[in-house]
Structure 1
Amino acid sequence: MIATSLQPSPKKQINFEHGKQGMAINFACRTILLQIILSSKNNSISHFCEQEKNYTIMWNKPWTIREGLAIGGGLIIIGQLLQCFTGGIDWQLFAFPANLITLGFYLLSLGVLYIFRKRLYVVQYFCTPSAAVAAIGFALVLTFIMGITRQAPGVSPTIDPIGLSYMLTYWPFVLVYLWLSSIIALTTLHQISTFRKRKFPSLVCHVGLFIALVCGTLGSADQRNLKMYCLAGQPEWRAFDDQGNVVELPLAIELQRFILEEYPAELQKVGIGKGKTKLMKMPSPKRYASEVHIYTKEGETLATTIEVNKPAHLAGWKIYQYSYDESMGAAHRVSIFQLVADPWLPFVYLGIGLLLLGAVLLFFSLGKTKDITSSTPEQP
């Protein structure tokens, strides 16, 4: 009989790591919208709205939010067509080192586009608040759909004909996020090339959001989610992935002792025929943990106790107490561990941290702007 812990499974944790993309977007949308107000020509919403109001014919310069909505709608249509023909993006193709090569090419392309921005009006438009508002709107809608739709585990394309069951492989989702990331990157380059001290909070927000989005997406292919079954006294270095494939690891776990604490047995009345019979319920587990020795190829050894919600950390791996097996008897329990590795996760946390820092700086800079405005004497 397998007893499963109350610890969240690695699948949920992996989805949560991807979910940080959505959290970063939701938080950043508010800070960027606030920043748009501060960075407009007269620091007011009325100027931005007036610019949209005076617009009559689409695709005439200067482009406004209508062109941004049209671009976003076009990306959705193109993405859905790609989804129908390809079945989604296979992120396993972007596993290391392909993701690093892709990131380098992407950054180089953005730099070249910014250098030639005066010849490409679309690049100039991507540095405007109108493009940012449109991209954020589409990203928010897709992120909301991701939040209310049950997501499938893994990083391979799903058999869902629409693709909503795993948004990270959904072409419209990827194209919109690529669009948003490009806008953020080009805006960041523009802020660096025309640096002003008062724009520093906005610059920090943009850098943090870009790091969180790009690393959270390209790093998904390098995430590992494995299960390992350990017998007492036998070092184990093999684990199983979601498809049941055997994976050899750069570390080994030796179970020294399995600890199981149970609640006292209880009586329960069960209806059998006309009357009720008192039966003794099977005792439920109160706490279980594993005393282990963990070895690495580099010769590092860690003696620790792993229990529910208290994982061990070694060589870039988080090792969780997942479950145990009592089918072999009380003296030969099998301890089951979850092993999760995400080498890009620190960069995602760095991006979110910069985003929070930028939001705080933006809040204080907004207060200073109000003070300066209130202290400015009125012109006769």
Structure 2
Amino acid sequence: MWNKPWSIKEGLIVGAGLLLTGEMLQLTVGAINWNVFAWPVNAIVLSIFCVLMLIGYRLRDNIYAFRFQSSSSVAVAALLYALTLTVIMGLFIQVGEFQEPVDPIGLTKMLSYWPFMLVYLWVAIIVAQTTIHQVLHFKLYFVPSLLSHIGILLILVCGTLGSADMQRLKMYCEMNQPEWRGLDNRNNIQELPIAVQLDKFIMEQYEGGQMPKRFASEVEIMTKDGKHVQTTIEVNKPFTIGGWTIYQYGYDQEKGPMSRYSIFELVKDPWLSVVYVGIYMMLAGAVLLFIIAQRRKKKRL
């Protein structure tokens, strides 16, 4: 073992070391606090990550461990660990941002769990090294995989660092009264650049009147720059304005159809568009790979 060239065994050992390091950090410093990465810290961290990736690639000819990070063996090992942790994440109900995990390890709060994030950072490093290599040694047949790699990198890096800038607020709107304030997860009042006024609450019920079939709110939305919009917001049909997406969240359940207020959830995620770009690039890469594979198949026939 550790005889060059390194194989998947060495990759699995590296992954195990990351899990052990992560668990030690979890027990000593506690869960990751993503709030410290809010703008402009996340932009600085992202810049440092890019610089370190370029330095690491330049040193790959002199340091074998760096060269190993762009090999298929380490990629397979990293994906095995990432897949396993993702499956574990799916098996445990994840709690909210400011809630304490209900297990002593932290598996119910995986996005703040050090082992989970260190493994995904490892995957990001591997993808970054491969991307740099394909850019610097560009060939036309690299395009599909290059698009996929850049897309994965955008999703992994911007999706995590950008989460610190995401705002999620609840707004309680009483009938015919514009509301400019929302409550965060700690029930702190936040002044907003938009106001929502409930004009009419709508509820359709199943026969028997026990469960709502549909509930929605006819609202007027105002912004401080003078915009005025009338729309209907209902479950799974939000409305977006000024970077904020407004969801129908709840109502006065005691009064049901006669509810005099609606509860809305307002979400602003300035990095979400970058994550979407990453998703589209991954899809484009997958489509191109499929097209190329079909053409090669036809040529063989």
Residue aligning to 2:42: 99
CA contact (8 A) 1:320 1:339 kept: yes
CA contact (8 A) 2:106 2:113 kept: yes
- Can you list the C-alpha shifts for 1:134-186, whole angstroms capped at 9, x where unaligned? 11111111111111111111267746431111111111111111111001001
- Can you list the C-alpha shifts for 1:323-372, whole angstroms capped at 9, x where unaligned? 21266898771111111222222221211111121112122333445566
Match of 1:338 among 244, 260, 265: 265
Q: Compared with structure 1, are the counterparts of its residues 155 and 331 closer, same or farther at alpha carbon in structure 2 (3 Å cutoff)?
A: closer
Q: Distance in 2 between matches of 1:133 and 1:330?
A: 55
Matches within 5 A, 1:1-12: none
Letter in 2 for 1:196: K
Gaps of 5+ in 1: 1-57, 267-281, 376-380
Match of 1:255 among 195, 198, 206: 198
Given the alignment of the two structures, is residue 189 of structure 1 paired with residue 132 of structure 2, yes or no? yes
CA RMSD across the alignment: 2.3
Query: How much has 1:61 moved relative to structure 2?
Result: 1.7
Given the alignment of the two structures, is residue 296 of structure 1 paired with residue 239 of structure 2, yes or no? no
CA contact (8 A) 1:88 1:157 kept: no
Query: How much has 1:112 moved relative to structure 2?
Result: 1.6
TM-score by length of 1: 0.74
Q: Distance in 2 between matches of 1:195 and 1:369?
A: 21
Q: Distance in 2 between matches of 1:313 and 1:91?
A: 25
Q: Distance in 1 between matches of 2:66 and 2:293?
A: 28
Q: Distance in 1 between matches of 2:273 and 2:102?
A: 31
Identical counterparts, % of pairs: 50
Residue aligning to 1:212: 155
The structure with more radius of gyration: 1
Equivalenced residues, count: 301
Q: Distance in 1 between matches of 2:176 and 2:77?
A: 59
Q: Distance in 1 between matches of 2:20 and 2:212?
A: 52
Given the alignment of the two structures, is residue 171 of structure 1 paired with residue 121 of structure 2, yes or no? no
Letter in 1 for 2:280: G
Residue aligning to 2:90: 147
Q: Compared with structure 1, are the counterparts of its residues 285 and 202 closer, same or farther at alpha carbon in structure 2 (3 Å cutoff)?
A: closer
Residue aligning to 1:19: none
Residue aligning to 2:232: 305
Q: Distance in 2 between matches of 1:284 and 1:76?
A: 46
Given the alignment of the two structures, is residue 358 of structure 1 paired with residue 301 of structure 2, yes or no? no
Residue aligning to 1:324: 251
Q: Compared with structure 1, are the counterparts of its residues 262 and 158 closer, same or farther at alpha carbon in structure 2 (3 Å cutoff)?
A: closer
Residue aligning to 1:113: 56
Match of 1:81 among 16, 24, 41: 24
CA contact (8 A) 1:87 1:163 kept: no
Higher normalized contact order (CA 8 Å, seq sep 6+, divided by chain length): 1
Residue aligning to 2:104: 161
